[in-house]
Chains A and B, each alone.
Chain A
Amino acid sequence: NAGVTQTPKFRVLKTGQSMTLLCAQDMNHEYMYWYRQDPGMGLRLIHYSVGEGTTAKGEVPDGYNVSRLKKQNFLLGLESAAPSQTSVYFCASSYVARVGEQYFGPGTRLTVT
Protein backbone atom coordinates (compact mmCIF):
# COMPACT_ATOMS: atom_id res chain seq x y z
CA ASN A 1 0.00 0.00 0.00
CA ALA A 2 1.94 3.02 -1.29
CA GLY A 3 -0.55 5.66 -0.10
CA VAL A 4 -0.20 8.88 -2.11
CA THR A 5 2.68 9.15 -4.56
CA GLN A 6 3.83 12.10 -6.65
CA THR A 7 6.07 12.30 -9.67
CA PRO A 8 8.46 13.91 -10.23
CA LYS A 9 10.04 14.85 -6.89
CA PHE A 10 12.08 17.73 -8.32
CA ARG A 11 11.93 19.69 -11.53
CA VAL A 12 13.50 22.81 -12.98
CA LEU A 13 11.66 24.55 -15.82
CA LYS A 14 12.41 27.57 -17.93
CA THR A 15 9.77 30.28 -18.20
CA GLY A 16 7.20 29.32 -20.79
CA GLN A 17 7.79 25.57 -20.64
CA SER A 18 4.99 23.18 -19.77
CA MET A 19 4.84 20.17 -17.52
CA THR A 20 2.47 17.77 -15.81
CA LEU A 21 2.66 16.62 -12.20
CA LEU A 22 1.16 13.22 -11.50
CA CYS A 23 -0.52 12.22 -8.26
CA ALA A 24 -1.62 8.65 -7.62
CA GLN A 25 -3.39 7.10 -4.62
CA ASP A 26 -4.22 3.47 -3.92
CA MET A 27 -6.68 3.98 -1.05
CA ASN A 28 -9.80 4.29 -3.19
CA HIS A 29 -10.32 7.86 -1.96
CA GLU A 30 -13.03 9.90 -3.65
CA TYR A 31 -11.52 13.33 -3.00
CA MET A 32 -8.18 14.54 -4.29
CA TYR A 33 -6.45 17.92 -3.94
CA TRP A 34 -3.51 19.88 -5.28
CA TYR A 35 -1.85 22.45 -2.99
CA ARG A 36 1.11 24.74 -3.24
CA GLN A 37 3.26 25.68 -0.27
CA ASP A 38 5.31 28.86 -0.24
CA PRO A 39 7.53 30.27 2.53
CA GLY A 40 5.53 32.18 5.14
CA MET A 41 2.19 31.09 3.71
CA GLY A 42 -0.09 28.23 4.56
CA LEU A 43 -0.93 25.47 2.14
CA ARG A 44 -3.09 26.97 -0.58
CA LEU A 45 -5.55 24.93 -2.60
CA ILE A 46 -5.05 25.07 -6.36
CA HIS A 47 -7.71 22.66 -7.64
CA TYR A 48 -9.56 19.72 -6.23
CA SER A 49 -11.75 16.83 -7.34
CA VAL A 50 -14.67 15.16 -5.60
CA GLY A 51 -14.74 12.19 -7.93
CA GLU A 52 -13.63 10.68 -11.21
CA GLY A 53 -14.29 13.04 -14.09
CA THR A 54 -14.90 16.09 -11.86
CA THR A 55 -12.67 19.01 -10.99
CA ALA A 56 -13.15 22.35 -9.26
CA LYS A 57 -11.15 25.51 -8.67
CA GLY A 58 -9.54 26.23 -5.35
CA GLU A 59 -8.03 29.37 -3.94
CA VAL A 60 -5.23 29.92 -6.48
CA PRO A 61 -6.20 28.18 -9.76
CA ASP A 62 -4.78 30.65 -12.32
CA GLY A 63 -2.06 29.21 -14.52
CA TYR A 64 -2.92 25.60 -13.70
CA ASN A 65 -5.19 22.95 -15.17
CA VAL A 66 -6.15 19.56 -13.80
CA SER A 67 -7.72 16.33 -14.90
CA ARG A 68 -9.06 13.29 -13.12
CA LEU A 69 -9.77 10.67 -15.77
CA LYS A 70 -9.26 7.80 -13.33
CA LYS A 71 -10.28 7.71 -9.68
CA GLN A 72 -6.75 6.95 -8.53
CA ASN A 73 -4.96 9.67 -10.51
CA PHE A 74 -5.05 13.46 -10.37
CA LEU A 75 -2.90 15.41 -12.81
CA LEU A 76 -1.78 19.01 -12.43
CA GLY A 77 -0.63 20.83 -15.55
CA LEU A 78 1.30 24.01 -16.06
CA GLU A 79 0.81 25.15 -19.66
CA SER A 80 3.28 28.04 -19.62
CA ALA A 81 5.38 28.12 -16.47
CA ALA A 82 6.18 31.41 -14.76
CA PRO A 83 8.70 32.19 -11.98
CA SER A 84 5.74 32.88 -9.65
CA GLN A 85 4.92 29.18 -9.89
CA THR A 86 8.17 28.24 -8.17
CA SER A 87 6.88 26.36 -5.15
CA VAL A 88 6.49 23.00 -3.47
CA TYR A 89 3.41 21.19 -4.70
CA PHE A 90 1.55 18.68 -2.56
CA CYS A 91 -1.16 16.30 -3.59
CA ALA A 92 -3.59 14.91 -1.02
CA SER A 93 -6.58 12.60 -0.93
CA SER A 94 -9.37 11.75 1.49
CA TYR A 95 -12.56 9.76 1.94
CA VAL A 96 -15.82 11.62 1.41
CA ALA A 97 -16.85 11.20 5.03
CA ARG A 98 -13.51 12.31 6.51
CA VAL A 99 -12.44 15.31 4.50
CA GLY A 100 -10.16 16.58 7.20
CA GLU A 101 -8.07 13.44 7.33
CA GLN A 102 -6.18 14.09 4.18
CA TYR A 103 -3.30 11.86 3.19
CA PHE A 104 -0.48 13.82 1.61
CA GLY A 105 2.06 12.89 -1.01
CA PRO A 106 5.77 13.63 -0.48
CA GLY A 107 5.70 16.82 -2.53
CA THR A 108 7.25 18.08 -5.76
CA ARG A 109 9.76 20.91 -5.62
CA LEU A 110 9.41 22.99 -8.78
CA THR A 111 11.73 25.82 -9.75
CA VAL A 112 10.92 28.05 -12.71
CA THR A 113 13.82 30.18 -13.94
Chain B
Amino acid sequence: KNEVEQSPQNLTAQEGEFITINCSYSVGISALHWLQQHPGGGIVSLFMLSSGKKKHGRLIATINIQEKHSSLHITASHPRDSAVYICAVSNFGNEKLTFGTGTRLTIIP
Protein backbone atom coordinates (compact mmCIF):
# COMPACT_ATOMS: atom_id res chain seq x y z
CA LYS B 1 0.00 0.00 0.00
CA ASN B 2 1.37 3.37 -0.95
CA GLU B 3 1.90 5.77 1.93
CA VAL B 4 1.50 9.45 1.07
CA GLU B 5 2.88 12.05 3.44
CA GLN B 6 2.51 15.79 3.21
CA SER B 7 4.36 18.57 4.96
CA PRO B 8 3.74 20.87 6.60
CA GLN B 9 0.31 20.01 8.01
CA ASN B 10 -0.44 23.68 8.57
CA LEU B 11 1.13 26.74 7.00
CA THR B 12 0.40 30.41 7.67
CA ALA B 13 2.04 33.08 5.54
CA GLN B 14 1.74 36.75 4.66
CA GLU B 15 0.23 37.82 1.38
CA GLY B 16 2.86 37.90 -1.36
CA GLU B 17 5.07 35.18 0.09
CA PHE B 18 6.31 32.21 -1.94
CA ILE B 19 4.67 29.02 -0.69
CA THR B 20 5.98 25.46 -0.91
CA ILE B 21 4.02 22.35 0.08
CA ASN B 22 5.70 18.96 -0.06
CA CYS B 23 4.47 15.45 -0.77
CA SER B 24 6.38 12.17 -0.56
CA TYR B 25 5.23 8.64 -1.33
CA SER B 26 6.61 5.21 -0.63
CA VAL B 27 5.98 3.15 -3.78
CA GLY B 28 6.43 3.91 -7.48
CA ILE B 29 3.44 5.51 -9.10
CA SER B 30 1.97 6.26 -12.52
CA ALA B 31 0.90 9.78 -11.63
CA LEU B 32 0.70 12.27 -8.79
CA HIS B 33 -2.17 14.66 -8.28
CA TRP B 34 -2.63 17.91 -6.45
CA LEU B 35 -6.11 18.93 -5.36
CA GLN B 36 -7.48 22.00 -3.63
CA GLN B 37 -10.26 22.00 -1.05
CA HIS B 38 -11.74 25.37 -0.23
CA PRO B 39 -13.24 26.23 3.17
CA GLY B 40 -16.69 25.56 1.75
CA GLY B 41 -15.65 21.97 1.18
CA GLY B 42 -15.50 21.72 -2.60
CA ILE B 43 -12.57 19.73 -4.00
CA VAL B 44 -11.04 20.46 -7.38
CA SER B 45 -8.13 18.89 -9.23
CA LEU B 46 -5.22 21.26 -9.84
CA PHE B 47 -2.55 19.12 -11.47
CA MET B 48 -1.85 15.61 -12.64
CA LEU B 49 1.80 14.92 -13.40
CA SER B 50 4.07 11.96 -13.97
CA SER B 51 7.33 13.79 -14.61
CA GLY B 52 8.91 17.21 -14.63
CA LYS B 53 6.93 20.33 -13.93
CA LYS B 54 3.57 21.89 -14.71
CA LYS B 55 2.46 25.50 -14.30
CA HIS B 56 -0.97 27.06 -14.13
CA GLY B 57 -1.08 30.74 -13.33
CA ARG B 58 0.70 31.26 -10.02
CA LEU B 59 0.76 27.56 -9.20
CA ILE B 60 3.67 25.31 -10.09
CA ALA B 61 3.89 21.58 -9.43
CA THR B 62 7.08 19.56 -9.72
CA ILE B 63 7.84 15.89 -9.29
CA ASN B 64 11.07 13.91 -8.81
CA ILE B 65 10.30 10.29 -9.61
CA GLN B 66 13.64 8.96 -8.37
CA GLU B 67 13.22 10.65 -4.97
CA LYS B 68 9.46 9.90 -4.82
CA HIS B 69 8.76 13.52 -4.00
CA SER B 70 6.62 16.34 -5.32
CA SER B 71 6.24 19.99 -4.44
CA LEU B 72 3.47 22.48 -5.02
CA HIS B 73 4.56 26.10 -5.17
CA ILE B 74 2.44 29.22 -5.07
CA THR B 75 4.02 32.47 -6.17
CA ALA B 76 2.78 35.87 -4.98
CA SER B 77 0.35 34.22 -2.57
CA HIS B 78 -3.06 35.81 -2.02
CA PRO B 79 -5.70 35.34 0.69
CA ARG B 80 -7.91 33.57 -1.86
CA ASP B 81 -5.24 30.83 -1.99
CA SER B 82 -6.23 29.88 1.56
CA ALA B 83 -7.41 26.29 1.32
CA VAL B 84 -6.41 22.72 2.07
CA TYR B 85 -4.06 21.30 -0.55
CA ILE B 86 -4.19 17.54 -0.99
CA CYS B 87 -1.66 15.27 -2.65
CA ALA B 88 -2.78 11.94 -4.12
CA VAL B 89 -1.10 9.17 -6.11
CA SER B 90 -2.31 6.64 -8.62
CA ASN B 91 -0.76 3.41 -9.88
CA PHE B 92 -0.81 1.69 -13.26
CA GLY B 93 -3.86 -0.49 -13.76
CA ASN B 94 -5.42 0.71 -10.54
CA GLU B 95 -8.67 2.63 -10.54
CA LYS B 96 -8.04 4.13 -7.12
CA LEU B 97 -6.18 7.08 -5.64
CA THR B 98 -4.31 7.17 -2.33
CA PHE B 99 -4.56 10.52 -0.59
CA GLY B 100 -2.37 12.44 1.81
CA THR B 101 -3.95 14.12 4.82
CA GLY B 102 -3.65 17.60 3.34
CA THR B 103 -1.88 20.86 4.11
CA ARG B 104 -3.98 23.69 5.48
CA LEU B 105 -2.71 26.97 4.02
CA THR B 106 -3.75 30.35 5.43
CA ILE B 107 -2.65 33.54 3.72
CA ILE B 108 -2.93 36.66 5.86
CA PRO B 109 -3.55 40.00 4.10
Contact = CB atoms under 8 A, between A and B. Distances in A.
A70 B106 CA distance: 41
A42 B4 contact: yes
B76 interface: no
Given A98-B48, A104-B43, A104-B44, A45 B86 contact: no
A13 to B, nearest CB: 19
A41 interface: yes
Interface of A: 31, 33, 40-45, 48, 50, 58, 88, 90, 92, 98-104, 106-107
Contact of A101 (B42, B45, B100, B102): B45
B56 interface: no
A107 B41 contact: yes
Contact of B42 (A43, A102, A106): A106
B90 interface: yes
A35 to B, nearest CB: 8
Contacts of B99: 42-44
B59 interface: no
Nearest to A39: B101
17 contacts: A33-B96, A40-B101, A42-B4, A42-B99, A42-B101, A43-B88, A44-B99, A50-B95, A88-B41, A92-B43, A99-B90, A99-B94, A100-B88, A101-B33, A101-B45, A103-B45, A107-B41
